[in-house]
Amino acid sequence: MKTKSFNKNRLRNLEHFQFAESVLTLCREANIVKLNAALTPLEKALQEEDLLLNLRRKESGSQELALLDDERGKAWRVISLIVQTELLSKKADLLAAARQIDEVLGRYPRLIYLPHLQQTGGIKNLVTDLRSTDLTAAVQKLELKEKIDNLDAINKAFKALYLKRLKSGSYETRVNVRERRTVTDKEIETVTNLLDALHTLEASESTEQLITLYNNLVIKQSRLLARRTVYGRAASEKRYGAIEQLLYPMLPALITEEGMTVAFAGRTLGTNKDRHYLINLRMGGTKEYERWYRIEGEKLVYVPEDKLPRPKRKKKPQPASDFTVPSAETTPTPPAQGGSSSGDHDGGAEGSIGGGL
């Protein structure tokens, strides 16, 4: 009597963890003295694997950081709106003060729409400029001191929280789950090999019962994988049949000479209206080749290889750089609708080419 084996690589991550945990539980309950020593490494491997299955999906403080980013955007808008309003004033002193402040704001175009780090540095420089002695009178005239202090306080709070988040965890590349699973599998193999050896040399009711329970667990998992394979194959066959039925009335139009046969080759590219179908063309049973076609109207149209759909490459994120004062002197007009300032949200959607059915 020996322990059975099966391909654990086919298990999904949580299934793999549950299988390994079940093995550990069965062995602990059996309490075979000579086997217990081999369970500690397995338990440690399980703990490491569990950590990777429960990774934080979002950094701590992300929501608070977003709120602060929104608040400093609003604080900047308050200052900008006051200046924009007073630029329309008929009072000479207010108009002169507004023009002075507007000139400073113009040094930082689209400030609240910059990436986070640039925005933080830009607001810091803006506050410094607005607090200069040259603008003291203009700031007092427009009653902006409290608004500037508020913008500065929120910006400092944002920077403090940003730095605090760096202490919340490691940003280094984490170990792949597959690597951890491999370690766990080796520890399970060590346990089962030891169990088989003990049963061979010192057969007992405990070792026999544990082997039986372990084998039952393996059989159950194997049946699960077998059912999954069957269901997957059935779904593929169903899709294949649907495509054949779709193409069937269009295929005869591709026959150009006597004895020629055409059939769906089982592969597609693209999705929906951009889906392409690989068609097998056999000339009199001797010459055979394959071509890609797409459906236009109610007929198949040949598509050369270089015209087939290609996946879009994902854009690489641009690294945030230190803030530099722009040379432009235009003040960004606040949007009519409310909204929060944003960080760097550049990104590209990655397309795909379907290689299945």
For every residue of 84-141, DSSP letters joined together read HHHTT-S-HHHHHHHHHHHHHHTTSTTGGGS-HHHHHHHHHHHHHHHTSGGGHHHHHH
Quick check: 100 and 86 in contact, CB under 8 A?
A: no
The full set of domain ranges for the chain reads: 8-55+174-236, 62-165, 248-303
The yes-or-no verdict on residue 329 having pLDDT over 50 is no
Q: What is the mean pLDDT of the chain?
A: 83
> What is the b/e burial string over 191-205, where b = at least 16 CB atoms within 10 angstroms of the residue's CB?
bbebbeebbeeeeee
- Which pLDDT score is estimated for 273? 81
Instruction: Report d(CA 6, CA 231) in Å as an integer.
Output: 19
- Which pLDDT score is estimated for 59? 62
Instruction: Report d(CA 242, CA 247) in Å as an integer.
Output: 9
Quick check: 131 and 146 in contact, CB under 8 A?
A: no
The yes-or-no verdict on residue 206 having pLDDT over 70 is yes
- Closest by Cα among 147, 165, 166 to 64: 165
Write the single-letter amino acid at 244.
E
The yes-or-no verdict on residue 189 having pLDDT over 90 is yes
| pLDDT-derived band at 331, boundaries 50, 70, 90 | very low
The yes-or-no verdict on residue 356 having pLDDT over 80 is no
- Segment 334-344 mean pLDDT: 42
CA of 166: how far to CAs of 159, 161, 267, in Å?
11, 9, 48
Instruction: Report d(CA 192, CA 20) in Å as an integer.
Output: 12
- Segment 134-163 mean pLDDT: 94
Q: Is 220 helix (H, G, I), strand (E, B) or coil?
A: helix
- Segment 167-194 mean pLDDT: 81
Quick check: 116 and 162 in contact, CB under 8 A?
A: yes
- Which pLDDT score is estimated for 319? 44
Longest Cα–Cα distance of the chain, Å, equals 104
91-135 pLDDT tens trace: 999 999 999 999 999 999 999 999 988 999 999 999 999 999 999
- Which pLDDT score is estimated for 94? 94
Report the first-to-last Cα separation within the chain, whole angstroms: 44
- Which pLDDT score is estimated for 259? 75
260-288 pLDDT tens trace: 888 888 888 888 888 898 888 887 666 77
- Predicted TM-score of the model (pTM): 0.48
Quick check: 314 and 303 in contact, CB under 8 A?
A: no
| pLDDT-derived band at 178, boundaries 50, 70, 90 | confident
Lowest mean pLDDT among 156-170, 195-209, 332-346: 332-346
CA of 215: how far to CAs of 167, 222, 229, 295, 296, in Å?
46, 10, 21, 52, 56
The yes-or-no verdict on residue 338 having pLDDT over 60 is no
Quickly list H helices, 248-278: none
